[in-house]
Every structure is written in structure tokens, then in C-alpha cells.
């Protein structure tokens, strides 16, 4: 068995048929499809069972609702392919030759991980995210490109898991080292941090082939006080542990602290766009250790390229709240204009 494709699925009845169809229509057939039904309350299980009855090579794992990180882990532990990749239940592979090309490259170049390009699909438009042709070793990655994985400009390595083919035995090792933390956000980043820290991961490549369609959903409330920043607290701890273990350049350390400021800003603005942000919520954001660390670091290592940072570092909660509300008003206006124009 050459390739295992793992789909974690929760209440995905509207989309999973397309996801599965994009797998079974591939020109390459030496694969297994593992679907982990994460306690869905809709028709997801029935749709998967129908496909399982029609096609060989489909495994269905039914579990109590435990989150996508646990679903991915259980799917990976069941994988028998030499290589593995992931497919979210609301996405799909957008070319029928994707598996053949990716497996051939993994074999011919004896790779440990291969990243492929993808397209973001919005309601009315799509946009390609194309990685340059790139090859590097373990040491080169941690000297140069780990900044992409750690949240910087995505030029070579992105933090997600679904745009990559991994050597299965190595990814299983990373999952076991990680443990069983259940994360709502930053799950991909944490797993990749561990995977790319394995000394066995010596050959890394990216290719410009657009193989995957990533569905972008608009809307939704980003509630900074309901678990989101708890997950980032774990992710940031993993980031800095990885950087310290590999003696990353100071620029990468600074970049990660700047990203922390952006996370707080995004959380507060998105919450304010759809509901309201209070002074208590802003203070709660500043109570997280990764935010405290960012404030302390950026006070002594100023970053002049982003005016918002001065406000973030000042810890003036009232001014910060006022700026968040101003930004949220701007985004609400943009959303209304978009709705009037296209809907």
C-alpha cells in the first residue's frame, strides 16, 4: 500500500460526498481511504457507509465526538500506506492525477515530506496559493524556512497538514510524541512543529502543482474568551520550544512575538464584528502567558513596521478597546458593501 488518505468528518453531510468522489476518481489506485466519523449527528455516517459498500479500499472509523485532532490521530494510527495525506471533509482534490504525481515524487526523490500547492475557494471566486519548487535538508529548514511554519510569510512551508504528503512512519512518531491534546485551532501547527523537529526528517520539498481545493467559509464568531486563545497558548509554547531546540535566528523569535500581537488583534476585532468586545475581554486576552511574553519582548525589541504594535505594547486597555471597535466598524461596513454587491 503506497498512500493513505485520512478524512476527519463531523456533520459534513453537505460536503463529504464531493470529498470522497475526488479521491475515488484519481488515476492512481494503490491507496486506502480512511474516514473518521467524529460523532456526527447528521447523515455523514450513512453517506460514508454507502460509499464503503460501493468501493473497495474505504475504511470507516466511528468514534464519539472528540475533535479533529483526535480524529486525525485515530485515522493515522489505522493507516497502512507508506505515505499519508489528509483531506478535510469540506474540501476536495481538484485534479485526478494528484496522487500519481505526488507518490512518484516522494519515491523518486526519497522524500520524508512533500508540500503541494492549493487553491482557496470562496463563495464567488477562487485564488491559487502556489509554492515555488524548493528542496532543502533538515538543517536548512531550521536555518531559513521555519519562519514560514511559525506563522510568517508562506513562501515555502505552510503550517497546515492537508497540503502535504508525509512518510507515514515518521508522522506516526510525531503524533505519539505529541500526546492527545485536543485543539480547536493551531492543531496543524503543533503537529508540524513536532514532525519537522524529528532528526529523521531529512528531505523536504515543495512543488507548484495545485492539487487541493480548500473551501473558505465566511462569517462565524471568533470568540477570544471561549477556548481560542487557550489553544494558541499551547501552540505558542510549542513554537518557542522548537525554536530553542534548533537555535533559530533572533528574527524568527521576534516574528513569533509579532504574530502573538496579531492573534490578539484578530480575535478582538472578529469578536467585535459579530457581537461586542468589552474591557474585561481585552484584559483577559492580556492575561495569557504568550501575550505577556510578547509584550515584554516587543518593549525591548520594537518593531516599527506595524503601528498597531505600539498600542499593543502600551497595555493601555481603554485605547486598545477603542481601536478594536473602530476597526470592527470598518469591517462591518466592508461586509455590508460586499453583501449588497454580490448577494
What pLDDT sits at residue 340? 60
Segments of the chain scoring below 70 in pLDDT? 142-156, 179-185, 217-227, 273-275, 304-306, 331, 334-343
Grid cell, residue 109, equals 526523490
How far, in whole angstroms, is CA 205 from its chain's centroid?
18
Residue written as cell 466519523? 37
What pLDDT sits at residue 222? 37
Sign of the dihedral through C-alpha 153, 172, 74, 20: positive
What pLDDT sits at residue 267? 80
Contact by Cβ (8 Å): 101, 94: no
What is the per-residue pLDDT across 166-197, written as a single tens digit (0 to 9) for each? 999 999 999 888 765 666 667 887 888 888 88
What pLDDT sits at residue 304? 66
Residue 98 CB-density burial (10 A; 0-12 exposed, 13-18 middle, 19+ buried): buried
How far, in whole angstroms, is CA 17 from its chain's centroid?
22
What pLDDT sits at residue 154? 47
Q: Are strands 113-121 and 58-63 parallel, antiparallel or unpaired?
A: unpaired
| Residues 6+ away with beta carbon under 8 Å from 321 | 277, 278, 279, 282
What is the per-residue pLDDT across 237-291, written as a single tens digit (0 to 9) for each? 877 877 777 777 787 788 788 888 888 888 887 777 666 778 888 898 999 999 9
Q: Cα(126)–Cα(105) distance, rounded to whole angstroms?
A: 27
Q: Cα(275)–Cα(282) distance, rounded to whole angstroms?
A: 14
Q: Cα(69)–Cα(222) distance, rounded to whole angstroms?
A: 19
Closest CA to 305 of 146, 159, 153: 153
Q: Cα(117)–Cα(137) distance, rounded to whole angstroms?
A: 20
Q: What is the pTM of this model?
A: 0.79
What would the 3-class secondary structure string for 239-280 be?
HHHHHHHCCCCHHHHHHHHHHHHHHHHHHHHHHHHHCCCCHH
**Residue 210, H or E segment:** strand 204-215
Closest CA to 274 of 343, 222, 228, 322: 222
Amino acid at each position: 500500500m503506497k498512500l493513505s488518505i485520512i478524512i476527519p468528518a463531523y456533520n459534513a453531510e453537505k460536503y463529504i460526498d464531493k470529498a470522497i468522489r475526488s479521491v475515488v476518481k484519481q488515476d492512481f489506485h494503490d491507496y486506502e481511504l480512511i474516514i473518521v466519523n467524529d460523532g456526527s449527528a447528521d447523515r455523514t455516517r450513512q453517506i460514508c457507509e454507502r460509499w464503503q459498500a460501493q468501493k473497495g479500499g474505504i475504511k470507516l472509523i466511528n468514534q464519539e465526538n472528540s475533535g479533529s485532532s483526535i480524529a486525525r490521530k485515530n485515522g493515522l494510527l489505522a493507516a497502512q500506506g507508506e505515505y499519508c495525506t489528509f483531506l478535510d471533509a469540506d474540501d476536495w482534490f481538484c485534479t485526478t492525477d494528484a496522487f500519481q504525481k505526488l507518490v512518484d515524487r516522494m519515491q523518486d526523490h526519497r522524500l520524508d515530506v512533500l508540500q503541494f500547492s492549493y487553491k482557496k475557494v470562496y463563495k464567488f471566486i477562487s485564488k491559487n496559493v502556489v509554492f515555488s519548487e524548493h528542496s532543502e535538508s533538515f538543517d536548512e529548514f531550521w536555518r531559513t524556512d521555519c519562519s514560514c511554519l511559525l506563522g510568517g510569510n508562506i513562501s515555502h512551508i505552510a503550517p497546515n497538514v492537508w497540503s502535504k504528503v508525509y512518510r507515514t512512519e515518521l508522522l506516526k512518531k510525531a503524533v505519539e510524541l505529541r500526546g492527545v491534546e485536543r485543539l480547536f485551532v493551531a492543531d496543524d501547527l503543533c503537529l508540524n512543529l513536532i514532525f519537522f523537529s524529528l532528526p529523521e526528517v531529512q528531505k523536504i520539498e515543495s512543488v507548484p502543482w495545485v492539487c487541493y481545493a480548500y473551501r473558505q467559509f465566511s462569517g462565524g464568531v471568533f470568540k477570544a474568551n471561549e477556548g481560542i486563545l487557550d489553544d494558541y497558548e499551547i501552540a505558542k509554547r510549542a513554537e518557542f520550544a522548537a525554536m530553542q531546540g534548533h537555535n533559530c535566528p533572533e528574527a524568527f523569535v521576534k516574528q513569533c512575538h509579532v504574530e502573538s500581537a496579531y492573534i490578539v488583534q484578530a480575535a478582538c476585532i472578529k469578536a467585535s464584528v459579530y457581537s461586542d468586545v468589552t474591557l474585561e475581554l481585552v484584559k483577559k486576552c492580556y492575561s495569557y502567558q504568550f501575550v505577556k511574553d510578547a509584550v515584554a519582548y516587543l518593549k525591548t525589541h520594537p518593531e516599527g513596521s506595524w503601528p498597531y504594535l505600539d498600542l499593543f505594547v502600551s497595555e493601555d486597555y481603554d485605547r486598545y478597546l477603542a481601536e478594536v471597535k473602530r476597526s470592527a466598524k470598518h469591517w462591518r461596513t466592508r461586509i455590508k458593501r460586499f453583501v449588497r454587491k454580490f448577494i
